[in-house]
């Protein structure tokens, strides 16, 4: 039954895919309207925390993903989905969650901005590199004959262009940008959430058939992502605020971008698409849960233990 994931496909027509692309571009544009040059300058002022954040996002997470996949040995299409999610930049909602957790919001914004800008190059590169280390996914990629230059173009169009335009408008028309982002952010996220719901409804039987396994795989993979950020922060002896930030930044992935790439270049391949779609739901649940715990319980617990 598990092998059926490799041959199954999710139903998602071209019109829906086009609207999904537009919604992701709008989300990125809304985020860019909040970005300033100072957000990038923060990188040079705090190189240690930033460097560990990038290391966690673009090296530690893909490495641990390879180890996890080698251990559980899922179907090749599922493994491809995990490698692709791990290669994507951090999700834009991570900034809100970091703020909620009382983390370092400036660091979070800087990491999101940098990872998004450089994902144009790093997402195709990391996906090809790490998927190539695992024989079943390497074989599947050869059979698909994926053009990484086309992937680069898609990521640049969906993330890079809106990022540059949004930052330019924020620099020239800051008042308009501040008003527009309050409307665009919630609107675009609602539209994207709607697409995920539609995808679930349109493929209900397929999700129902495999959700037990998919849930456990995504649960484990997301835990690894969160652990990556947390463990590197502890090794680097970062502050509590920076530890929260790196944990959340690495645990929240742009699964929307993964879905676009899957439906564009892999024809909605079942294992990949279900992994990415469930990631899009689960990482919000886990991220909000961790942020809430850090905000409401973590410090009081430490304080109470220190009094004993």
Of 242, 257, 281, the residue nearest 87 (C-alpha):
257
Query: How many domains are contained in the chain?
Result: 1
CA distances from 247 to 57, 93, 143, 303 (A): 10, 13, 36, 22
Average pLDDT taken over every residue of the chain: 81
Of 137, 146, 112, the residue nearest 261 (C-alpha):
146
CB 253 within 8 A of CB 225: yes
pLDDT in the model for residue 272? 85
Q: pLDDT tens for residues 49-92?
A: 989 999 999 999 999 999 999 999 998 989 999 999 999 988 77
The domain in which residue 196 lies consists of 2-307
Of 125, 137, 12, 144, the residue nearest 78 (C-alpha):
137
174 pLDDT higher than 60: yes
- State how far the Cα of 283 lies from the Cα of 272, in Å rounded to an integer: 16
Task: Specify the residue for token string 């982002």.
Answer: 181
The DSSP 8-state label assigned to residue 253 in this structure reads B
Q: pLDDT tens for residues 121-169?
A: 888 899 999 999 999 999 888 877 667 777 788 788 777 788 788 888 8
pLDDT in the model for residue 305? 38
Q: What is the pTM of this model?
A: 0.83
- State how far the Cα of 133 lies from the Cα of 152, in Å rounded to an integer: 21
Q: pLDDT tens for residues 243-272?
A: 999 999 999 988 888 888 888 888 777 788
Tally: H helices and E strands in the chain: 16, 0
300 pLDDT higher than 50: no
- State how far the Cα of 296 lies from the Cα of 118, in Å rounded to an integer: 34
- State how far the Cα of 65 lies from the Cα of 221, in Å rounded to an integer: 7
Of 298, 249, 295, the residue nearest 114 (C-alpha):
249
Higher pLDDT, 297 or 29: 29
Q: pLDDT tens for residues 191-206?
A: 767 766 766 676 667 7
What CATH number corresponds to the domain at position 14? 1.20.1530.20
Backbone φ/ψ region at 231: left (φ over 0), alpha (ψ -120 to 50), beta:
alpha
Of 146, 152, 149, the residue nearest 123 (C-alpha):
152
**With the CA atoms of 144, 150, 154 and 157 taken in that order, what torsion angle do they form, in degrees rounded to the nearest 10?**
180
């Amino acid at each position: 039954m598990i092998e059926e994931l490799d041959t199954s496909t999710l139903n998602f027509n071209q019109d829906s895919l086009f609207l999904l692309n537009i919604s992701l571009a709008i989300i990125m544009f809304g985020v860019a309207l909040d970005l300033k040059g100072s957000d990038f300058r923060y990188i040079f002022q705090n190189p240690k925390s930033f460097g560990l954040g990038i290391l966690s996002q673009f090296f530690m997470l893909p490495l641990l993903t390879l180890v996890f996949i080698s251990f559980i040995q899922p179907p090749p299409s599922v493994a491809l989905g995990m490698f692709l999610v791990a290669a994507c930049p951090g999700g834009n909602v991570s900034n809100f969650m970091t703020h909620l957790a009382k983390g370092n919001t400036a660091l979070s914004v800087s990491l999101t901005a940098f990872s998004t800008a450089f994902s144009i190059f790093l997402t195709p590169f990391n996906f090809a590199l790490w998927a190539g280390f695992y024989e079943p996914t390497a074989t599947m990629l050869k059979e698909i004959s994926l053009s990484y230059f086309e992937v680069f173009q898609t990521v640049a169009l969906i993330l890079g262009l809106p990022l540059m335009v949004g930052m330019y408008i924020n620099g020239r028309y800051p008042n308009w940008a501040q008003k527009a982002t309050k409307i665009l952010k919630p609107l675009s996220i609602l539209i994207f959430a709607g697409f995920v719901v539609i995808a679930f409804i349109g493929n209900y039987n397929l999700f129902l058939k495999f959700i037990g396994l998919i849930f456990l795989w995504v649960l484990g993979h997301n835990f690894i992502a969160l652990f990556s950020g947390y463990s590197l922060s502890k090794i680097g002896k970062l502050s509590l605020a920076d530890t929260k930030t790196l944990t959340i930044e690495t645990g929240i992935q742009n699964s929307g971008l993964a879905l676009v790439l899957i439906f564009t270049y892999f024809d909605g391949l079942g294992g990949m698409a279900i992994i990415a779609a469930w990631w899009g739901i689960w990482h919000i649940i886990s991220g909000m849960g961790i942020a809430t715990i850090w905000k409401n319980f973590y410090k009081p617990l430490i304080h109470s233990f220190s009094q004993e």
